[in-house]
Amino acid sequence: DTVASNVRAFIAENQTQLPAAAAAAAGAVAAPAATSKRLPYEQRAGLAKNSVAKQCFEIMARKRTNLAVAADVATADEMLALAEQAGPHICVLKTHVDIFDRWDDSIATKLQDIASRHDFLIFEDRKFADIGNTVVSQYAGGIYKIADWSHITNAHLVPGPGIIDGLKQVGLPKGRGCLLLAEMSSKGTLANGSYTEAVAEAAKQHEDFVMGFISVNPAAWKDGPGSPGLIHMTPGVQLAEGGDALGQQYNTPANVIGARGSDVIIVGRGVIKAADPAAAAAEYKEAGWAAYEASLAA
C-alpha cells in the first residue's frame, strides 16, 4: 500500500501542464468520435427512399417486432402452415422458393393472402448473382415469377452494379425492394472487407430500389451502419450462440441488435424445428424487441 501511494504521489507531482489553448486542442484530438444514436423504426420510416423499406419499418413499429422467420422447409404446404403460425409475430417471412416440392400461382396467391392478413412482408432469398440481362429474366419470369409475389429479394454484387440495374428494371415499377448481400454468417465467407465497403457504396447510389443489406456486423463497418433509411437484416440468430456442422455461426438477438447494430433478426431452425413454432416465434419476437428497446436507451 505504501509503495502504491508513493507511486501515485510521484505521478501527481510530475504531471506536465499544457497551456490552456494547447490543452483544449489536445483534448479535441483525443476525444472519441461521436457515435450516432439509434433512431426508432417509425422515425426511420420517414427517411427511407424505397417504398418497401418504409413499409417494413412501419410494420416493425406497428407490430413491435423485428423478427424475420426463414421458411426453410421442404414443401409448399409446410411453408404456408408456418406462415400462418408465425405470421402474427413477424415482420418478414423469408422463403427459398426453389427448395419447395411444388410451386404455382395458386401457392403464391395463398402466401400473399396470409401476408396481408398477418401484416408481414415476403422476402424471396434468391441471392441473384448474374449479369444484368440474365437477372431480368430470372426475376420477372421463369416458373417462379418472383417479382410478382415477393416484396423483397436480394443479390450479390459480385457481377458489378449492373445486377442492381437489371433487378431494378423489373422490381422498381412493381414497388419492390432489394437487399444487397454485404456480409454472410457462414464461416470463411469472402463477403467482408473491401467487398463489404463496395456494397455499402453501391447501395448509396440506388436507394430508390436498394432497401438495405444482409449483414452480420454493420456497427464495425468503416462508416457504421450507414443511412438510417436502409435496413440491416442478419441471419444466423438463435437464443444461444453456437454453430452447426456446415459452418453456420449463430449469434443472439441481443448481440445482433445491440452490439452489432442490425435491425432485423432472421431465425430459421430456432422456429421451424421447435415443437410449437408459433410459441417459438413469439419468444424470438420478445427477445428481438427487448434488444431493440435496450439499444434505443443506450
| Residues taking part in catalysis | 127
In DSSP terms, 233 is beta-bridged to 214, 264
Asked whether 265 and 253 are in contact (CB, 8 A), the reply is: yes
d(C-alpha 80, C-alpha 265), whole Å: 21
31/22 Cα distance (integer angstroms): 14
Do 149 and 126 meet the contact criterion of CB atoms below 8 Å apart? no
Residue 295: all three cell numbers together: 439499444
Determine if residue 197 is left, alpha or beta; phi over 0 gives left, psi from -120 to 50 gives alpha, anything else beta: alpha
213 contacts 182 by C-beta, under 8 angstroms: yes
Nearest to 76 by CA among 57, 95, 50, 52: 95
Give percent helix, percent strand, percent coil of the chain, each to the nearest 5. 50, 15, 35
